[in-house]
């Protein structure tokens, strides 16, 4: 009976030990977002309010889509202003892209940083982009959008009929642009 109890105790202890090691591993890696894949370079193109081209030090041209936000399309009200705003923030400047994947169009998906500024969040804060509800994970973006809307900043100053989220506008538009 003692042997059986010791064996069960040993198995329970080992299981607890393994879970503890896994938990420590997860805490360590979640505490270091810098370990996520990144690229840095100079912004050489701004295609619209949520897509840029970054030229890396090794001369790679990387078309990058700002994640979790969706700016008005070029043919949509405020589309040109959104592009101009993004250009003003980062065109010809060094940025860091925290990569989160690749989209179906082959663009790198990422969060863009210039200096200490989160460019994706800044576009929402200034009222040049919506939070892309389908893909948003950062809850603070919703607060920024609500504050911009309440202050009637950017696209939120438009008449209500023109405040059409880009994902709805693209669905209704016969010619989709990317």
Is 65 annotated as catalytic? yes
Please tell me the distance from the alpha carbon of residue 3 to that of residue 149, in angstroms, as a whole number: 69
Nearest Cα to Cα of residue 96 among 135, 57, 145: 57
Instruction: Name the catalytic one among 68, 98, 107, 125.
Output: 107
**Kind plus residue range of the DSSP H or E element containing 149:** helix 140-151
**Kind plus residue range of the DSSP H or E element containing 52:** strand 51-56
Please tell me the distance from the alpha carbon of residue 130 to that of residue 142, in angstroms, as a whole number: 9
Instruction: Name the catalytic one among 15, 60, 63, 65.
Output: 65
Instruction: Name the catalytic one among 73, 98, 122, 145.
Output: 73
- Residues 88, 89, 93, CA angle at the centre, nearest 5°? 100
The answer to whether 109 and 67 are in contact (CB under 8 A) is yes
DSSP track, 5-29: HHHHHHHHHHHHHHHHHHHHHHHHH
Catalytic residues: 65, 73, 107
């Amino acid at each position: 009976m003692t042997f059986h109890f010791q064996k069960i105790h040993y198995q329970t202890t080992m299981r607890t030990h393994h879970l503890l090691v896994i938990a420590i591993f997860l805490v360590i890696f979640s505490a270091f977002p810098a370990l996520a894949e990144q690229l840095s370079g100079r912004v050489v193109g701004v295609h619209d309010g949520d897509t840029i081209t970054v030229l890396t030090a090794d001369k790679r041209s990387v078309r990058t889509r700002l994640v979790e936000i969706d700016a008005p399309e070029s043919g949509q009200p405020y589309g040109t202003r959104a592009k101009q705003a993004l250009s003003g923030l980062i065109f010809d400047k060094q940025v860091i892209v925290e990569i989160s994947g690749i989209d179906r169009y082959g663009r790198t998906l990422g969060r863009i940083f210039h200096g200490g500024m989160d460019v994706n969040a800044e576009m929402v804060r200034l009222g040049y982009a919506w939070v892309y509800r389908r893909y948003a994970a950062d809850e603070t973006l919703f607060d920024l959008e609500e504050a911009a809307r309440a202050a009637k900043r950017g696209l939120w100053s438009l008449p209500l009929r023109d405040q059409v989220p880009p994902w709805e506008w693209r669905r209704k538009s016969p010619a989709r642009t990317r």
